[in-house]
Amino acid sequence: MIRVYGDIMLDRWIIGKANRISPEAPVPILKEKQQKIMPGGAANLAVNIANLNGDIATYGSVGNDKEGFTLIECLEPFKNINFNIVNDSECTTVKNRLVGQGGQHIMRWDREIQYKGAEACDRLIHDLNKDDIVCVSDYNKGTVQKDTITKILKKTPYVLVDPKQDPSYYKGAWLVKPNMSEWKQWFIEFHPNYAHTKMIEYGWEWLIVTDGARGLHVLNKNGKHAHYKEEAREVADVTGAGDTVLAVLAYCIEQGKDVWNSAKTACFAAARAVEHRGVHVVTPKDLNKGVVFTNGVFDILHAGHLQLLKQAKQLGNKLIVGVNTDSSVQRLKGSNRPINDIQTRIAQLEALPWVDQVLTFTEDTPIELIRKIQPDLIVKGGDYTVQTVVGHDICDVKIIPLIEGYSTTKTIEKMNEL
């Protein structure tokens, strides 16, 4: 079972328009249009895991105040979460965000008092079993004390930590996931070999360092290092992306995946999460890269083709390539094309490690093939724009820059010069 422990908060978004400056002070005036209230901190992590994994349990503390009751009400729809939340905090931690037009954050004000209780941790320790996975969501609000990880490790070795305090608080944790800013606050710089020495020093089996749009670094206790990166189609809001990563890691590991593949999936899910404004609750769809489609003649394969196909595969689980038949190529390119017949072109594409399926089409465009496949993403080269790509009205389109100097036409011209 997955159990979430840590600092539970209430996130409040006050959304409106800021079109003028206050006459009382040089600050913008936000005219409120709506408010959104969502679980934050460890509660947001719990909601994300529950949305993927079914039954989980979460532990923490709120205040005996209006915000605490509001937070409990926000969590009530999630029937598959067993909430072990005590109300022994002096107040509920609240993050208030003022957001103007276009999603621009104007300011944030927080309400919090450091937690000094012990009941939340006691409940967790009482319930733990040896095979449980414990996700510790530490925002340095007092729920995680110097000996918290030690207590958990006496019951189960599988402790995954999102840290905010000194690394000594997390000695012996199975997996620690700081962001790059937190890592540099700890150790000044990041380098895989140096990071490995710190893993040994603190007894971590796995280290995952998230680095925003630059992806994430994964290291194990043996010193093996991998770097994963996924592009977001548009970054709308990075709030909650760290919770997405930890939630997907816990879910995938509990499902039996190794940490490498779990991290790769988490990286992809985080890229999907930042495409949404506000805190986005991860869904099973966010874990599925889906079907990617591209098309072309692919008469004489060159480096530009290979780069396009390689990058297209990285954007999905399955890459389908549509290829013009010989008669289609002759109508588009002339009677002296293609150089290679359709059987040869199919065989060349199927031999590539990135191509999962090759389909042909006899029409001038692949629109009917796209309608039949219903891909999640169409990928084309940089000589296109989104609006000129056939099928842009059916699914998302990704334009990949071309490698300069490569084309089948230029290759044929060089051959004719010989």
Paired with 99 in beta bridges are 15, 105
Amino acid at 415: M
Q: Which two tokens stand for residue 38?
A: 């969502």
Mean pLDDT of the chain: 89
402 phi-psi bin (left φ>0, alpha ψ -120 to 50, beta other): beta
C-alpha–C-alpha distance, residues 251 and 1, integer Å? 10
C-alpha–C-alpha distance, residues 410 and 151, integer Å? 68
CATH code assigned at 392? 3.40.50.620
Q: Name the domain boundary from 249, 265, 287.
A: 287
Q: Which domain holds residue 345?
A: 291-417
C-alpha–C-alpha distance, residues 206 and 203, integer Å? 9
Residues 58, 133: one domain?
Answer: yes
β-sheet with 357-361: strand ranges across: 357-361, 318-324, 291-296, 377-381, 396-400
C-alpha–C-alpha distance, residues 354 and 49, integer Å? 31
Residues 9, 69: one domain?
Answer: yes
- Which residue in the list 243, 286, 299, 376 is annotated as catalytic? 243
What total number of domains does the chain contain? 2
Q: Name the domain boundary from 258, 287, 316.
A: 287
Amino acid at 17: K
Residues 238, 376: one domain?
Answer: no
Residues 274, 299: one domain?
Answer: no
Residues 252, 299: one domain?
Answer: no
Residues 219, 95: one domain?
Answer: yes
The pLDDT tens digits along the chain (418 residues) read 999 999 999 999 999 999 999 999 999 999 999 999 999 999 999 998 988 876 799 999 999 999 999 999 988 888 888 889 998 999 999 999 999 987 888 999 999 999 998 999 999 999 999 999 999 999 999 999 999 999 999 999 999 999 999 999 999 999 999 999 999 999 999 999 999 999 999 999 999 999 988 889 999 999 999 999 877 666 555 566 778 899 999 998 998 889 998 998 888 888 877 676 666 777 777 777 779 999 999 988 888 889 999 999 888 888 999 999 999 999 988 888 898 999 999 999 999 999 999 999 999 999 999 999 989 889 998 888 999 999 999 888 889 887 765 566 656 555 556 5
Residues 81, 132: one domain?
Answer: yes
Residues 261, 324: one domain?
Answer: no
Residues 330, 383: one domain?
Answer: yes
CATH code assigned at 71? 3.40.1190.20
C-alpha–C-alpha distance, residues 75 and 81, integer Å? 8
Residues 373, 333: one domain?
Answer: yes
- Burial tier of 388 (Cβ tally within 10 Å: 0-12, 13-18, 19+): exposed
Q: Name the domain boundary from 231, 253, 287.
A: 287
Torsional sign, CA 45, 47, 48, 52: positive
Active site residue 243: yes
Q: Which two tokens stand for residue 57?
A: 């349990």
Q: How many residues does the chain have?
A: 418
Residues 117, 174: one domain?
Answer: yes
Q: Measuring CA to CA, which residue among 127, 138, 101 is closest to residue 2?
A: 127
% of the chain exceeding 70 in pLDDT:
93
Residues 253, 316: one domain?
Answer: no
